[in-house]
Homo-oligomer: A and B are copies of this chain.
């Protein structure tokens, strides 16, 4: 059947759109989730048009062959990982920005458009697409939609689902449907558009996306930086900022482990300042922005910051945020990284960080922490030496303990990366059997043949 499906696709779409060479296809077999298993695809289709995607779905439906959709493969949960004998659909060639509508402040794009490309194009028209995952230079809007991607400015501006107005999708029948709307508001029928966002490719292939845009921010952002002696103090600072009714445009945390890793690489002297670094921004215009930045600084100081400064200089701000940007690659130098993504109520951030430290000690595992602290969204980064199965085993146990701790604190097992393969146990524990049963019912209703990314999110 494996050969059969590849042949059928080549016949229908032409050899140019279908990769059947096993070595080349292997490059499409997984995303960036360490540890997540993956199989060997029978073929990789790179459609140029929606109709090609629809043809692919019809052929796969006929043959009951699973379809795994793929953007840039920057995912961190294994959601884009191939199954043996599946067909991977890579949207790399459907990468056109179809329309920027300045009157309606919307953009309509193909799924393969890279996040930063959309942002740059929108800026030409004075508009802004806020969702800014760390992968924005590489990840695609289609992938962002599949995972409901977040980012730094979500603390103020929301996540991908908040921006997706409408989409075109190929469903299990091979039919192409339009979901959602093009208007600012609309309540006609169920929110099937929102249901598709974050469904990790399990309900259909998204072939076009219309997102709402905001006016481009023109005021300079104010950056506030604070060093703290303890995670508890930093957590208290985050809670104080929130409780004061301040909604910063970013509020990030970096722990000593990550600061040191950056220092070791770039010799920036970051870890000299303290144990924990908080980075915050205000984008309110004029005096309001100055006042907000000043208030953030005051809350940092009141919570015990040993050092707190603010700046409006863009270059200086970029340098300050470099620590955040460099943390991940700095840790990657130390070994393969597994990224956690738990999210807890903001007030529980200090306790969750304490539990992460406890898990690291208990399982003798190295864990650094970066966090979208203003959202309660933590990214413990596990460094696991390659070729050390014992260390990997210990890290896996710590990973699951942290997942359970997040649930115990009223949190969720994934804030923005998705369930994929890595968080299926945690998702089942968080949602419970009845809600998982509702997921299964919805999946069966919209994908009765079970061809879209089976086995991801839930089993």
Contacts and interface: CB of A to CB of B under 8 A. Distances in A.
Contacts of A161: 191, 194
B376 A184 contact: yes
A187 B284 contact: no
B245 A126 contact: yes
A404 interface: no
Given A103-B239, A198-B187, A287-B287, A246 B215 contact: yes
Contacts of A186: 343, 412, 414-415
A347 interface: yes
Interface string A350-385: 000000000000000000000010111100000000
Given A104-B346, A191-B198, A216-B245, A435 B184 contact: no
Contact of A103 (B104, B192, B243, B413): B243
B345 A103 contact: yes
Interface residues of A, number: 91
A62 to B, nearest CB: 19
A95 interface: no
A102 B288 CA distance: 23
Contacts of A377: 183-185
Given A103-B239, A345-B182, A442-B446, A191 B194 contact: yes
A427 B190 CA distance: 11
Q: Which of A150, A245, A247, A445 has the most CB of B within 10 A?
A: A245
Interface string A157-188: 01101100000000101010111011111111
Interface string A185-210: 11111111011011100000000000
Nearest to A182: B410
A439 interface: yes
A441 B445 contact: yes
Nearest to A423: B188
Contacts of A419: 187-189
A147 interface: yes
Contacts of A457: 189-190
A438 interface: yes
A148 interface: yes
Contacts of A446: 438, 441-442
A439 B105 contact: no
Given A346-B104, A412-B188, A195 B195 contact: yes
A349 to B, nearest CB: 10
A37 to B, nearest CB: 20
A14 interface: no
A344 interface: yes
A242 interface: yes
A285 interface: yes
Contact of A243 (B102, B175, B185, B188): B102
Nearest to A106: B345
A431 interface: yes
Nearest to A186: B412
A318 interface: no
B245 A181 contact: no
Contacts of A57: none
Interface in A426-456: 426-427, 430-432, 434-436, 438-439, 441-442, 444-446
A398 interface: no
Given A173-B434, A187-B415, A442-B446, 6 more contacts: A103-B243, A154-B185, A178-B432, A190-B199, A190-B457, A288-B288
